């Protein structure tokens, strides 16, 4: 990489298992912030953390490599997802700010997080990525909201995770309007295993990420037919003498999905009574997490599970063969809204759509700490890995950070608001099956309160045509409820040519929207035009009954370029704001 820019003011601090020689032209800064915890008498653990910027758990390595990791060939997770691992902005430089340590308290972490953000601003970062969040408080009490506003005034783009408390509404974190808040979606890649019935007449593919390139051949199958506890493989009811050395068939085809009702401790149970492995029949594979078990686990659809069950019930000495380590591409539909992704509205600012956008955050392959056991294969026996498959909005957030770095490099004059606008107004609203993006939990179409402006499209964001640009003073006016309201917006032409755009409103029953004027003319690059939009909602006409799940209905305001190719699209959402209890 070329020399570090002279404008960079950051440093690399020394500490436990970390010294300045670990920094280079790629990792140009590394600091830790622990004065807050030390002020209240807490010490950094010497067994479960490092008193240095070094990453102990793997979270920081994973997120930073996602945002700006250099290309690495032959990366994989025990044979899954083989290929070249590349960050979103592989030529970007990275500075790490470690602000949370093992056993941190909430207030302590808040103090150190704000200190880290202030230092990052002083050091001269361009993009700030925070895969963390704090309980939603008034903005003047929220360290990330405070730090991000200071960053905004310096032209620094700040992106944050929405949180992992979905799928219910009002679970958002990082809802300040000046933040770019990211939800998590799936990608069109699935990891699995191939299950072949003993006679070879039926072969099905299931979900699995068991971390061994393993082939199990012609193993006897056990199914506890007639005893529901045994049918669902309740480990407390299984007799080790019946299941030892066999592959279990666990039938979860009922709607109650008993697996969802188990406690986390149950899920992280030991090997099931000495069995060789297990096949779960369950459509909601996302809730089963194969890595919860210290044994080979495969999840098949209820449809395929019925095939297996019929074979087992009608075959003497039934057997199965299982081949692990499959990576399946081109799965449809994708993306879906991940079940854990926190949903809007934001409790502190429900008038602004949150989350802003959806990004990949489900089973994402990225770097991991090499000396920390990660993949369970037996109780108290974990394999080491340089790359890990991890899910969460922590994983989706750095995708946007890297994309924002690319946009900033291409458009040096764009403000943080312009970058966010470009990402949102060019987002894809259709999945790879040509349908509306669905919710993983319900398997029906999601809403903007689940996925924001929908799924990011980096290439389209590079050339959005128009952007909604906002400066710090506008946010102040918004917070003061003066001058800037939810009805008034300003568009800026970022294309090189003059243009005319016409408004097209797609409104559902019960929503009436009016835009004035209906056409905007731009004389050239950076020219601006104003419009007003008024929205009326009739929930009764829309046949919507307000429920605890907040949602009313939604449509879109789209600006179409006349005799051009640009489309600038924004969701218009109605939701029910309930008072806090």
Q: What are the pLDDT digits (tens) for 465-519?
A: 999 998 888 888 777 753 434 455 888 999 999 999 999 999 988 889 999 999 9
Both tokens of residue 89? 């902005």
The reported pLDDT for the residue numbered 188 is 96
Give 400-458 pLDDT, tens digit per residue: 999 999 999 999 999 999 999 999 999 999 999 999 999 988 889 999 999 999 999 99
Using N-to-C axis directions, what is the helix angle for 106-123 and 143-153, rounded to 10°? Answer: 10
- Per DSSP, helices labelled H in 7-58 are 35-39
Rg (CA), the chain: 26
| 150 φψ region: left (φ > 0), alpha (ψ -120 to 50), beta (else) | alpha
**DSSP run (H or E) holding 146:** helix 143-153
Two structure tokens written together for 163: 């949180």
Q: Residues near 88 by Cβ (< 8 Å), separated by ≥ 6?
A: 66, 67, 68, 398, 399, 401, 402, 403, 405, 406, 458
Write out pLDDT tens, residues 121-173: 999 999 999 999 998 888 888 999 999 999 999 999 999 999 999 998 899 99
Angle, CA of 119, 125 and 131, to the nearest 5°: 80
Contact by Cβ (8 Å): 538, 504: no
**pLDDT tens digit sequence for 324-376:** 999 999 999 999 999 999 999 988 888 889 999 999 999 999 999 988 888 87
Angle at 268 between CA 165 and CA 46, to 5 degrees: 80
Give the whole-angstrom CA distance, residue 317 versus residue 96: 57
481 and 501 Cβ atoms separated by less than 8 Å? no
Identify the band that residue 228 occupies on the pLDDT scale cut at 50, 70 and 90.
confident
**Triad 262, 366, 188: Cα angle to 5°:** 70
Between CA 204 and CA 249 the distance in angstroms is 14
**pLDDT beyond 50 at 521:** yes
Going by the DSSP 8-state scheme, the letter that residue 198 receives in this structure is T
Question: How far is the C-alpha of 294 from the C-alpha of 292, rounded, in Å?
Answer: 7
Residue that wins the pLDDT comparison between 268 and 67: 67
pLDDT at residue 266, as a whole number = 47
Give me 421's structure tokens: 């606008």
Counting residues of the chain whose pLDDT is more than 90, the rounded percentage is 65
Structure-token match 């700010």, residue found? 97
pLDDT at site 481: 59
CA distances from 68 to 61, 180, 366 (A): 11, 18, 11
């Amino acid at each position: 990489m070329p020399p570090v820019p002279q404008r960079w003011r950051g440093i690399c601090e020394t500490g436990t298992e970390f010294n300045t020689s670990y920094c280079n032209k790629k990792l140009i800064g590394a600091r830790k912030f622990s004065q807050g915890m030390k002020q209240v008498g807490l010490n950094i653990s010497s067994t479960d953390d490092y008193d240095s910027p070094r990453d102990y758990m793997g979270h920081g390595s994973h997120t930073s490599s996602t945002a700006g990791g250099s290309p690495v060939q032959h990366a994989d997770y025990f044979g899954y997802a083989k290929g070249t691992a590349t960050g979103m902005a592989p030529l970007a430089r990275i500075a790490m700010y470690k602000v949370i340590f093992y056993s941190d308290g909430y207030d302590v972490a808040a103090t150190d997080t704000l200190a880290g953000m202030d230092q990052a601003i002083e050091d001269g970062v361009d993009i700030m990525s925070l895969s963390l969040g704090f309980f939603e408080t008034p903005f003047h009490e929220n360290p990330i909201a405070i730090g991000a506003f200071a960053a905004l005034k310096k032209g620094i783009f700040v992106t944050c995770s929405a949180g992992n408390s979905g799928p219910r509404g009002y679970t958002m974190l990082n809802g300040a309007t000046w933040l770019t808040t990211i939800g998590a979606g799936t990608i069109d890649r699935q990891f699995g295993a191939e299950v072949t019935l003993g006679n070879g007449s039926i072969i099905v593919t299931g979900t699995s990420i068991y971390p061994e390139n393993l082939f199990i051949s012609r193993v006897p199958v056990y199914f506890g037919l007639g005893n529901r506890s045994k049918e669902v493989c309740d480990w407390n009811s299984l007799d080790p003498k019946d299941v030892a050395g066999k592959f279990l068939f666990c039938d979860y085809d009922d709607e109650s999905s008993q697996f969802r009702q188990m406690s986390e401790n149950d899920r992280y149970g030991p090997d099931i009574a000495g069995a060789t492995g297990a096949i779960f029949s369950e459509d909601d594979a996302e809730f089963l997490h194969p890595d919860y078990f210290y044994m080979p686990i495969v999840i098949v659809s209820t449809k395929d599970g019925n095939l297996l069950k019929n074979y087992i019930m009608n075959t003497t000495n039934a057997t199965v063969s299982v081949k692990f380590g499959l990576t399946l591409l081109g799965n449809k539909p994708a993306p879906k809204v991940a079940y854990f992704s926190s949903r809007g509205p934001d409790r502190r600012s429900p008038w602004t759509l949150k989350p802003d956008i959806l990004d990949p955050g489900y089973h994402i392959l990225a770097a991991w700490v090499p000396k920390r056991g990660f993949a369970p294969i037996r109780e108290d026996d974990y394999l080491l890995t340089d790359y890990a498959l991890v899910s969460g909005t922590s994983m989706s957030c750095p995708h946007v950070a890297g994309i924002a770095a690319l946009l900033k490099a291409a458009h040096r004059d764009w403000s943080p608001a312009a970058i966010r606008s470009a990402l949102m107004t060019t987002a894809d609203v259709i999945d790879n099956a040509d349908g509306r993006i669905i919710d993983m939990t319900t398997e029906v179409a999601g809403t903007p309160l689940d996925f924001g402006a929908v799924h990011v499209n980096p290439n389209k964001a590079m050339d959005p045509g128009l952007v909604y640009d906002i400066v710090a003073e506008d946010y102040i006016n918004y917070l003061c409820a003066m001058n800037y309201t939810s009805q008034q917006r300003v568009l800026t032409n970022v294309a090189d040519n003059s243009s005319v755009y016409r408004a097209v409103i797609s409104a559902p029953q019960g929503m009436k929207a009016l835009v004035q004027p209906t056409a905007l003319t731009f004389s050239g690059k950076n020219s601006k035009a104003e419009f007003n939009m008024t929205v009326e909602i009739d929930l009764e006409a829309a046949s919507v009954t307000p429920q605890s799940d907040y949602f009313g209905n939604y449509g879109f305001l789209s600006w179409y370029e006349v005799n051009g190719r640009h489309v600038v699209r924004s969701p218009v959402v109605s939701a029910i704001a309930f008072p806090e209890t």
